[in-house]
Amino acid sequence: MSASPTQPAHLVVEATGVGKVFGGGDGKVEALRSIDLAIEPREFISLIGPSGCGKSTLLRLVGDLTNPTSGTLRVNGKDPHQARLDRDYGMVFQKATLLDWRTVAKNVELPLEIMDVAARQERAREMLQLVQLGEFAGHYPWQLSGGMQQRVAIARALAFRPSLLLMDEPFGALDEMTRELMQQEVLRIWRETHTTVIFVTHSIPEAVFLSTRVVVMSPRPGRISDVITTGLAHPRNEDTRESRDYYDKITEVREALRRQERGAG
Protein backbone atom coordinates (compact mmCIF):
# COMPACT_ATOMS: atom_id res chain seq x y z
CA MET A 1 0.00 0.00 0.00
CA SER A 2 1.44 3.36 -1.03
CA ALA A 3 0.59 6.85 0.12
CA SER A 4 0.67 10.23 -1.55
CA PRO A 5 3.36 12.73 -0.45
CA THR A 6 0.71 14.82 1.32
CA GLN A 7 -1.02 11.85 3.00
CA PRO A 8 1.53 9.51 4.64
CA ALA A 9 0.42 5.96 5.29
CA HIS A 10 -0.88 5.19 8.75
CA LEU A 11 1.43 2.58 10.24
CA VAL A 12 -0.11 -0.29 12.17
CA VAL A 13 3.23 -1.08 13.84
CA GLU A 14 6.28 1.16 14.07
CA ALA A 15 9.40 -0.03 15.92
CA THR A 16 12.47 2.20 16.20
CA GLY A 17 15.64 0.96 17.87
CA VAL A 18 13.70 -1.57 19.94
CA GLY A 19 15.74 -3.78 22.26
CA LYS A 20 14.85 -6.33 24.91
CA VAL A 21 17.04 -7.64 27.74
CA PHE A 22 15.87 -10.29 30.18
CA GLY A 23 17.38 -10.59 33.65
CA GLY A 24 20.48 -8.83 34.96
CA GLY A 25 24.04 -9.40 36.05
CA ASP A 26 25.59 -12.70 35.00
CA GLY A 27 22.13 -13.98 34.03
CA LYS A 28 21.40 -11.16 31.59
CA VAL A 29 20.15 -12.25 28.16
CA GLU A 30 19.89 -9.78 25.29
CA ALA A 31 16.99 -11.11 23.22
CA LEU A 32 16.57 -8.24 20.73
CA ARG A 33 18.80 -5.41 19.56
CA SER A 34 18.02 -2.30 17.47
CA ILE A 35 14.82 -3.51 15.81
CA ASP A 36 13.51 -1.09 13.18
CA LEU A 37 10.28 -2.19 11.48
CA ALA A 38 7.32 -0.39 9.90
CA ILE A 39 4.15 -2.32 9.01
CA GLU A 40 1.37 -0.79 6.94
CA PRO A 41 -2.34 -1.69 7.03
CA ARG A 42 -3.37 -5.01 5.42
CA GLU A 43 0.16 -6.37 5.21
CA PHE A 44 0.88 -9.99 6.05
CA ILE A 45 4.30 -10.05 7.73
CA SER A 46 6.09 -13.25 8.71
CA LEU A 47 8.97 -13.29 11.20
CA ILE A 48 11.48 -16.07 10.57
CA GLY A 49 14.88 -16.95 11.99
CA PRO A 50 16.75 -19.57 14.04
CA SER A 51 15.44 -20.74 17.41
CA GLY A 52 16.09 -18.19 20.12
CA CYS A 53 16.39 -15.24 17.73
CA GLY A 54 13.57 -13.31 19.42
CA LYS A 55 10.71 -13.79 16.93
CA SER A 56 8.15 -14.55 19.62
CA THR A 57 9.66 -11.90 21.91
CA LEU A 58 9.08 -9.26 19.23
CA LEU A 59 5.50 -10.46 18.80
CA ARG A 60 4.98 -10.31 22.57
CA LEU A 61 6.33 -6.74 22.66
CA VAL A 62 3.76 -5.70 20.04
CA GLY A 63 1.08 -7.52 22.04
CA ASP A 64 2.02 -5.83 25.34
CA LEU A 65 2.89 -9.16 26.96
CA THR A 66 6.32 -7.78 27.85
CA ASN A 67 7.95 -4.35 27.63
CA PRO A 68 10.91 -3.18 25.54
CA THR A 69 14.13 -2.33 27.36
CA SER A 70 15.08 0.34 24.80
CA GLY A 71 13.71 2.10 21.75
CA THR A 72 10.16 3.06 20.91
CA LEU A 73 7.25 0.89 19.77
CA ARG A 74 3.87 2.14 18.55
CA VAL A 75 0.76 0.15 17.61
CA ASN A 76 -1.76 2.17 15.60
CA GLY A 77 0.12 5.25 16.75
CA LYS A 78 -0.24 4.31 20.44
CA ASP A 79 1.76 2.77 23.21
CA PRO A 80 1.25 -1.04 23.03
CA HIS A 81 -0.44 -1.02 26.44
CA GLN A 82 -3.01 1.50 25.26
CA ALA A 83 -3.49 -0.46 22.05
CA ARG A 84 -4.25 -3.56 24.14
CA LEU A 85 -6.75 -1.63 26.25
CA ASP A 86 -8.36 -0.39 23.03
CA ARG A 87 -8.57 -3.96 21.70
CA ASP A 88 -6.55 -3.09 18.63
CA TYR A 89 -5.29 -6.64 18.15
CA GLY A 90 -6.15 -10.30 18.64
CA MET A 91 -3.70 -13.12 19.35
CA VAL A 92 -3.48 -16.76 18.26
CA PHE A 93 -0.88 -19.12 19.73
CA GLN A 94 0.41 -22.59 18.80
CA LYS A 95 -2.16 -24.15 21.12
CA ALA A 96 -5.75 -23.06 20.61
CA THR A 97 -6.23 -22.65 24.42
CA LEU A 98 -9.98 -23.15 24.19
CA LEU A 99 -12.06 -23.78 27.30
CA ASP A 100 -13.23 -27.41 27.18
CA TRP A 101 -16.36 -26.74 29.25
CA ARG A 102 -17.63 -24.04 26.89
CA THR A 103 -19.15 -24.72 23.49
CA VAL A 104 -17.41 -23.49 20.36
CA ALA A 105 -19.79 -20.52 20.16
CA LYS A 106 -19.26 -19.67 23.83
CA ASN A 107 -15.48 -19.79 23.34
CA VAL A 108 -15.77 -17.27 20.51
CA GLU A 109 -18.05 -15.10 22.64
CA LEU A 110 -15.60 -14.98 25.57
CA PRO A 111 -13.74 -11.74 24.70
CA LEU A 112 -17.07 -10.13 23.84
CA GLU A 113 -18.43 -11.12 27.27
CA ILE A 114 -15.42 -9.48 28.90
CA MET A 115 -16.10 -6.34 26.85
CA ASP A 116 -19.85 -6.58 27.69
CA VAL A 117 -20.87 -6.52 24.02
CA ALA A 118 -24.64 -6.94 23.74
CA ALA A 119 -24.72 -8.58 20.29
CA ARG A 120 -22.06 -11.17 21.10
CA GLN A 121 -24.11 -14.21 20.02
CA GLU A 122 -24.72 -12.71 16.60
CA ARG A 123 -21.05 -11.74 16.30
CA ALA A 124 -19.93 -15.25 17.30
CA ARG A 125 -22.19 -16.77 14.64
CA GLU A 126 -20.73 -14.37 12.07
CA MET A 127 -17.16 -15.31 13.01
CA LEU A 128 -17.87 -19.04 12.93
CA GLN A 129 -19.32 -18.63 9.45
CA LEU A 130 -16.16 -16.76 8.47
CA VAL A 131 -13.98 -19.72 9.51
CA GLN A 132 -16.50 -22.17 8.00
CA LEU A 133 -17.49 -23.74 11.31
CA GLY A 134 -21.03 -22.43 11.64
CA GLU A 135 -22.50 -25.93 11.98
CA PHE A 136 -20.18 -26.69 14.92
CA ALA A 137 -21.33 -23.83 17.17
CA GLY A 138 -22.84 -26.21 19.71
CA HIS A 139 -19.92 -28.63 19.80
CA TYR A 140 -17.19 -28.66 22.44
CA PRO A 141 -13.47 -28.23 21.66
CA TRP A 142 -12.62 -31.83 22.43
CA GLN A 143 -15.02 -32.91 19.65
CA LEU A 144 -12.98 -31.02 17.02
CA SER A 145 -9.75 -31.76 15.16
CA GLY A 146 -6.62 -29.70 15.81
CA GLY A 147 -7.13 -27.64 12.67
CA MET A 148 -10.76 -26.93 13.56
CA GLN A 149 -9.72 -25.86 17.06
CA GLN A 150 -7.27 -23.37 15.56
CA ARG A 151 -10.03 -21.99 13.36
CA VAL A 152 -12.11 -21.44 16.49
CA ALA A 153 -9.14 -19.66 18.08
CA ILE A 154 -8.87 -17.41 15.00
CA ALA A 155 -12.60 -16.68 15.15
CA ARG A 156 -12.27 -15.76 18.82
CA ALA A 157 -9.28 -13.49 18.12
CA LEU A 158 -11.22 -11.68 15.39
CA ALA A 159 -14.49 -11.44 17.31
CA PHE A 160 -13.96 -7.84 18.45
CA ARG A 161 -12.80 -6.70 14.97
CA PRO A 162 -9.13 -5.94 15.74
CA SER A 163 -7.07 -4.15 13.12
CA LEU A 164 -4.09 -6.42 13.85
CA LEU A 165 -3.82 -10.19 14.29
CA LEU A 166 -0.74 -11.62 16.04
CA MET A 167 -0.07 -15.31 15.32
CA ASP A 168 2.72 -17.22 17.11
CA GLU A 169 3.41 -20.48 15.23
CA PRO A 170 -0.31 -21.30 15.13
CA PHE A 171 0.12 -24.29 12.80
CA GLY A 172 3.28 -25.73 14.35
CA ALA A 173 1.52 -28.70 15.96
CA LEU A 174 -0.52 -29.68 12.88
CA ASP A 175 0.29 -32.39 10.34
CA GLU A 176 1.57 -31.19 6.96
CA MET A 177 -1.67 -31.63 5.03
CA THR A 178 -3.77 -29.86 7.67
CA ARG A 179 -1.12 -27.15 7.91
CA GLU A 180 -1.34 -26.40 4.19
CA LEU A 181 -5.13 -26.26 4.35
CA MET A 182 -4.94 -23.88 7.30
CA GLN A 183 -2.50 -21.65 5.44
CA GLN A 184 -5.06 -21.21 2.66
CA GLU A 185 -7.79 -20.66 5.22
CA VAL A 186 -5.91 -17.92 7.02
CA LEU A 187 -5.16 -16.18 3.72
CA ARG A 188 -8.85 -16.29 2.81
CA ILE A 189 -9.76 -14.81 6.22
CA TRP A 190 -7.03 -12.17 5.86
CA ARG A 191 -8.41 -11.11 2.48
CA GLU A 192 -12.01 -11.01 3.70
CA THR A 193 -11.34 -9.10 6.93
CA HIS A 194 -8.58 -6.73 5.66
CA THR A 195 -6.74 -7.37 8.94
CA THR A 196 -3.00 -6.78 9.26
CA VAL A 197 -1.19 -9.98 10.31
CA ILE A 198 2.16 -10.61 12.02
CA PHE A 199 2.96 -14.32 11.85
CA VAL A 200 5.83 -16.17 13.57
CA THR A 201 7.05 -19.36 11.89
CA HIS A 202 10.09 -21.62 11.54
CA SER A 203 8.98 -22.77 8.08
CA ILE A 204 10.45 -20.97 5.06
CA PRO A 205 7.80 -22.32 2.61
CA GLU A 206 5.03 -21.27 5.00
CA ALA A 207 6.45 -17.77 5.39
CA VAL A 208 6.75 -17.31 1.62
CA PHE A 209 3.31 -18.74 0.85
CA LEU A 210 1.52 -16.54 3.38
CA SER A 211 3.33 -13.24 3.38
CA THR A 212 3.52 -9.95 1.58
CA ARG A 213 6.94 -9.53 3.27
CA VAL A 214 9.21 -11.94 5.14
CA VAL A 215 11.31 -10.46 7.96
CA VAL A 216 14.51 -12.48 8.43
CA MET A 217 16.06 -12.29 11.90
CA SER A 218 19.59 -13.03 13.05
CA PRO A 219 20.67 -15.33 15.91
CA ARG A 220 20.51 -13.79 19.39
CA PRO A 221 20.58 -10.94 19.97
CA GLY A 222 17.83 -10.85 17.37
CA ARG A 223 18.17 -8.20 14.71
CA ILE A 224 16.44 -7.77 11.36
CA SER A 225 18.96 -8.85 8.75
CA ASP A 226 16.70 -8.84 5.66
CA VAL A 227 13.16 -7.93 4.65
CA ILE A 228 12.04 -9.79 1.53
CA THR A 229 8.95 -8.87 -0.48
CA THR A 230 7.35 -12.04 -1.88
CA GLY A 231 5.40 -10.48 -4.76
CA LEU A 232 3.32 -13.63 -5.30
CA ALA A 233 -0.10 -13.12 -6.87
CA HIS A 234 -3.37 -13.67 -5.01
CA PRO A 235 -5.30 -15.81 -4.48
CA ARG A 236 -2.57 -18.26 -3.55
CA ASN A 237 -3.33 -21.95 -3.97
CA GLU A 238 -1.79 -25.26 -4.97
CA ASP A 239 -0.68 -23.75 -8.29
CA THR A 240 1.28 -21.17 -6.29
CA ARG A 241 3.15 -23.97 -4.50
CA GLU A 242 4.21 -25.40 -7.88
CA SER A 243 5.29 -22.09 -9.41
CA ARG A 244 8.87 -21.07 -10.19
CA ASP A 245 8.35 -17.70 -8.45
CA TYR A 246 7.44 -19.51 -5.22
CA TYR A 247 10.55 -21.70 -5.33
CA ASP A 248 12.72 -18.71 -6.17
CA LYS A 249 11.44 -16.80 -3.12
CA ILE A 250 12.00 -19.82 -0.88
CA THR A 251 15.60 -19.92 -2.12
CA GLU A 252 15.98 -16.17 -1.51
CA VAL A 253 14.78 -16.45 2.09
CA ARG A 254 16.91 -19.55 2.70
CA GLU A 255 20.01 -17.76 1.39
CA ALA A 256 19.24 -14.75 3.60
CA LEU A 257 19.10 -17.04 6.63
CA ARG A 258 22.36 -18.72 5.65
CA ARG A 259 24.13 -15.37 5.22
CA GLN A 260 23.28 -14.12 8.69
CA GLU A 261 24.07 -17.54 10.24
CA ARG A 262 27.51 -17.46 8.58
CA GLY A 263 27.97 -13.91 9.82
CA ALA A 264 27.12 -15.00 13.37
CA GLY A 265 29.64 -17.82 13.15
Over residues 172-188, the pLDDT tens digits come to 888 899 999 999 999 99
Residue ending a domain, choose from 125, 140, 161: 161
Residue 72 shares a structural domain with residue 27 = yes
The structural domain count of the chain equals 2
Residue 133 shares a structural domain with residue 173 = no
Q: Residue 56 falls within a domain, yes or no?
A: yes
Residue 168 shares a structural domain with residue 55 = yes
Residue 170 shares a structural domain with residue 154 = no
For residue 242, the 8-state DSSP code is T
Residue 25 shares a structural domain with residue 124 = no
Residue 170 shares a structural domain with residue 258 = yes
Residue 108 shares a structural domain with residue 80 = no
Kindly report the pTM of this predicted structure. Answer: 0.92
Residue ending a domain, choose from 118, 145, 161: 161
CA 30 to the chain's CA centroid: 23
List own/partner pairs for 134-142 with CB under 8 A and 24 or more apart. Answer: 136/104, 137/103, 137/104, 137/105, 138/103, 138/104, 138/105, 139/103, 139/104, 140/100, 140/101, 140/102, 140/103, 140/104, 141/96, 141/98, 141/99, 141/100, 141/102, 141/104, 141/107, 142/100
Using N-to-C axis directions, what is the helix angle for 104-114 and 120-130, rounded to 10°? Answer: 130
Q: Residue 237 falls within a domain, yes or no?
A: yes
Amino acid 264: pLDDT = 55
What is the mean predicted confidence (pLDDT) over 101-127? Answer: 91
Residue 188 shares a structural domain with residue 82 = yes
Residue 151 shares a structural domain with residue 167 = no
Residue 255 shares a structural domain with residue 218 = yes
Residue 69 shares a structural domain with residue 170 = yes
Residue ending a domain, choose from 161, 177, 210: 161
Q: Which domain holds residue 199?
A: 13-88+163-264
Q: Residue 7 falls within a domain, yes or no?
A: no
245 band by pLDDT with thresholds 50, 70 and 90: very high
> pLDDT (tens digit, 9 = 90+) per residue, 21-70?
998 777 889 999 999 999 999 999 999 999 889 999 999 999 999 999 99
